[in-house]
Structure 1
Amino acid sequence: MKPMPNLVRVEPVALLPTQAGCAVFLGDGTKTIVFYIDPGVGASINASLSGQVPQRPLTHDLYMLTLQAFGGKVSRAVIVRMENDVYYARLILEAENEIMERKIVEIDARPSDCLAITARSGAPFFVVRELWERLEDMSAVLRDMRDNGNGEDAAADGSDPL
């Protein structure tokens, strides 16, 4: 993948329980951001990141299987903006047709679904640099949560995530 200076590559740092679902912490090694997701997607992300293979395909697994059946793959996911405290992301997909022409498709998606899908595909996850630079660094908050025992990484089935 060619360098993309307008993007910051991030990785999941922690997945922590909240009263309404899960807090997802993403970081680049120097800064950490957080967004909140529902518990079902949190369990899906955790399962994928911890290498759990369900007996039957879950929703995000089904998405990946369908994409692969049509010869497509996930290229990357990008959080592109935040409006009214809601993050918006784009999932970038690639496919080649029978005459070997490459097609790239960009679709609107929730960051949580993007993370669940990139966790399954191994595709990179990014944040637009201009947005990244405006967001508050939550590294100290995460550290304090872990130090005070208020932020045990949570898994729906009790396994260790991240």
Structure 2
Amino acid sequence: MIEMKVAGIAIDAVSHNPIVLLRDTTDRRALPIWIGEAEAKAIVNALDPKPLARPMTHDLIMNIIDGWSANLERVVIHALKNSTFYALLTITYGEVRKEIDARPSDAIALALRARCPIWVMEEVILEASIPVDQDADEAERRAFREFLSNLRPEDFAKGPKLGN
């Protein structure tokens, strides 16, 4: 799993739908997830909180979690099937841990409020992320190719003998 942070909300130029953009902690990969307008507002409200007269839905959910002395431990975006992302909320209450299915947009809005980590499975990153720092990616590929080209058979030492 790769930890991701919310980089912000953007608007798709073609469909005009909101996109939440996640970035890995090294700023090398970005994961765009198309979301609804209400969820985009919930994420923006969590990124830049302003006092509201009444709690919104995600605030209400966090109030319930807090009211029961439970903890939103983490969010995991674990799958991408037919262009739909799937997420899990991990909620703990004492020694009890439950994983609850959620839409990624709702999970992200809650994670921001709970200040808990957002993780994405490597398979999802490989399938749906976009490079952010292509120069760093290319430098890493060149360094790895150079490392491989300089390997010799004697670089692979024999391991210790087991037994007598």
* Fold shared, TM-score > 0.5 on shorter chain: yes
Q: Please list the CA deviations of residues 118-155 of structure 1 after superposition, one character each: whole Å capped at 9, or x if unmatched.
A: 01000000101222123241538xxxxxxxxxxxxxxx
Q: Percent identity?
A: 26
Partners of 1:54 and 1:21 in 2: how far apart?
25
Q: 2:157 is matched with which residue?
A: none
Gaps of 5+ in 1: 1-6, 97-101, 141-162
Q: 1:75 is matched with which residue?
A: 73
Alignment of 1:14-33 (within 5 A): 14-18=8-12, 19-28=15-24, 29-33=27-31
Partners of 2:8 and 2:46 in 1: how far apart?
14
Distance 1:136 1:70, change over 3 A: closer
Normalised TM-score (structure 2): 0.74
Aligned residue for 2:55, secondary structure, equals coil
Which of structures 1 and 2 has the bigger CA Rg? 2
Asked whether the equivalents of residues 34 and 138 of structure 1 are also in contact (C-alpha less than 8 Å), the reply is: no
Aligned residue for 1:23, secondary structure, equals strand
Partners of 2:63 and 2:17 in 1: how far apart?
26
Normalised TM-score (structure 1): 0.75
Root-mean-square deviation (CA, aligned residues, Å) is 1.5
Q: 1:124 is matched with which residue?
A: 117
Q: 1:12 is matched with which residue?
A: 6
Aligned residue for 1:9, secondary structure, equals strand
Asked whether the equivalents of residues 33 and 139 of structure 1 are also in contact (C-alpha less than 8 Å), the reply is: no
Structure with more relative contact order (C-alpha pairs < 8 Å, separation 6 or more): 1
Aligned length: 129
Q: Write out the 4+ residue segments of structure 1 that deviate beyond 6 Å after TM superposition.
A: none
Does 20-29 or 64-73 show the bigger shift?
A: 20-29
Does 60-69 or 17-26 show the bigger shift?
A: 17-26
Partners of 1:89 and 1:60 in 2: how far apart?
16
Instruction: Output the amino acid matched with 1:135.
Output: A
Question: Which structure: greater helix fraction?
Answer: 2
Deviation (angstroms), 1:70: 1.0
Partners of 1:136 and 1:17 in 2: how far apart?
17
